[in-house]
Amino acid sequence: MRFGINSFLFTSPFTTKSTSLFPKFVKWGFDTIEIPIEAPEHIDSVKVRKALDKHGLACGSVCACMGPGRDFRGSAKDQREAMKYCKALIDHMVNLGCPSLIGPVYSVVGKADAVDPKEQKREFALVVKNLKVLCAYAEKKGVQICVEPLNRFETDFLNTCEKGLRLIKAVNSPVLKLHLDTFHMNIEEKNQAAAIRKAGKLLGHFHACGSDRGTPGNDHIDWTPIVKALKGIRYKGDVVIESFTTDVKVIARAAAIWRRMEPTREEIAVKGLKFLKKAFK
């Protein structure tokens, strides 16, 4: 099991020049970095890989940024743009030596509204159809896709582990896995440990976030059963801190971070990692 940090805590967008952050991450003790690629043209993935290798850091995951115009349940144009974007991310992942495309790889973030059952069924079928195509591309490239349920304020499509497993079953691809996040689960799941056990071998990626998006461990989440559940299913993937602060304005607005929850973002990274390493022993 490796511990990682999502670069959104320090910068947006991540560009080739953002590799200047790598020495800091290594110094703090992180094994991997999670890179949100907001637009494929933002990075030269060959140069980023060289910087990763130089500092002994791995890109454990690339986070899909499903912004406006990228929607596998949207218009025909939005579906095409989402497919083009996600395939470009997978191409970057090959250069980066990255195994996992993670996040809400199904719909634009922020699309959350009540729709009737007939429309829900239609949208679900569209996502399944598109993910079948994307998963075939990912399998060909030797990588996996981990779909992340988000909370009810960020999407109406996928909120729980159970719904995520239903989607995975419908797509029926060996490279489609589940991505769980303690922040979202804290809102949507009755019991986080039970959700992890239910995911079992299909859990491909894990975000360890404070209940307020702050430092893991400096919150009200009961981490003991979560750690026990992850060990119980023999989870071997990355455990990544994905926290946000008001320092990165674009992400703060997108994630509704309106106040400073911790003294510094460095504290979130350093103290959060220290807590997680102790919790997982």
> How far is CA 29 from its chain centroid?
20
- DSSP label of 15: -
pTM of the full predicted structure? 0.96
Instruction: Report residue 79: phi and psi, to 5°.
Output: -65, -45
pLDDT single digits (tens) 112-170:
998 999 999 999 999 999 999 999 999 999 999 999 999 999 999 999 999 999 999 99
Distance CA 235, CA 231 (A): 6
Token readout for 263 is 């003294």
Domains of the chain: 2-280 (3.20.20.150)
Instruction: Report residue 101: phi and psi, to 5°.
Output: -95, 120
Q: Is the pLDDT of residue 252 over 70?
A: no
> Are 4 and 241 spatial neighbours (Cβ–Cβ below 8 Å)?
yes
- Non-local (6+) Cβ contacts of 241 within 8 A are 3, 4, 5, 6, 9, 207, 208, 209, 216, 268, 269, 272, 273, 276
Q: Is the pLDDT of residue 262 over 80?
A: no
> Are 24 and 53 spatial neighbours (Cβ–Cβ below 8 Å)?
no
Helix pair angle (161-171, 117-141), 10° resolution = 60
Identify the pLDDT of residue 46.
98
- The closest alpha carbon to 219, from 272, 161, 160, belongs to 272
